[in-house]
Amino acid sequence: MTSVRRHAARGLVALAAAVAVSAPLAAPAAAAPATTEAPAAAQSVAGKPVVRPGVVGHRGASGYRPEHTLAAYELAAAQGADVIEPDLVATKDGVLVVRHENLIDGTTDVAQRPEFADRKTTKVVDGVALTGWFTEDFTLAELKTLRAKERLPQVRPESASYDGRYQVPTFEEVLELRERLSTRHGRQIGVIPEIKHPTYFDSIGLSMEERVVELLDEHGLNKRNAPATVQSFELANLRDLNENLGLKAETVFLSSVNGAPYDSVAAGDTVRDYDFYATAAGMREVRAAGVDTLGPAFAQIITKQKDGSMGEETAFVSLAHRAGLEVVPYTFRAENQFLYTEFRSSTDPNAQGDMVGMIQPFLDAGIDGFFTDPPDLGVQAVDTWMQGKKEHPGRGVGKTAQRGLQGR
């Protein structure tokens, strides 16, 4: 995956930044230990190349700052993330902004704004009825008056202490930030935007794909081997991007342990669910659509038992690599409630457990990178694994290590 593994191989490691240019109320993120030099991209173990897996700052450093804020991306890079991830939704006036969902109750203070009380409504998004406030009912100027807040305040009180400081950034602001930070740190910073709910946004006349390509073009990122990759939970829009809309940057097809892509649902296709795309036949279809990487839930790689413990490794990674696809799973989080039971530190669901230890068998399984909320711990996990290569040359040197950057 260009923006993750091969970017890491070229030294795409750290991001340190500023808050939104147009956010005078936003305070700078607190200083954090920064990774000032890129780690070694590859090493030779017993004569075999080992490529350093990439670390994606999921929604920024969303374990420490309100997600999808420029401060969160700043901290992610300072902690050593190779790539930052903005999720894209559209405004009423067609501007691409960065929110995990178009429903923004949980990530902004919109519910506390009396001037927008009448915007509360119920909509059906991807077949699910949702009630609240939606980005497509606001102009960019209106959204800019809102302030971001922590989505999981009981889980992450430190992040919640930054509520009210940061604006909702645009995708263009994130791309500009990437450029400034790459200059500041003397290395490229990767960006991996996700186009959210593409079928839904198409249905309301706010298609995002064309504007994504335009912005990547404007910022010199619409080319192979650029530090940019476009991702989606639907395959149809990725195929359209690759075949019809002029996207030259690489693409990632995201999947889940259950359910189906909404483009399949909307088309009445009962075959092409996420289970299908975890098979060899499904992965061949993904590759034929011009996709480069799969982004599965981590439980699709090593299963979760009914008691919450770690189960068996599946054939997902080996099948994907055989199909010419790289594998970058999501999302590793540090709190006990998100870990397999053997990596939990206590019965407190919000206390931090051993995320670093839990990632090790996934790296052994051959993943090419991963998404994580605390990038500093993600980097530590990769450092630990790479050190283990030196100390135990046979450990995990197989599928991906021998494959290196070949077969693409």
- Which residues are known catalytic residues? 58, 100
Strand partners, 42: 51
CA atoms lying within 13 Å on the CB side of residue 99? 30
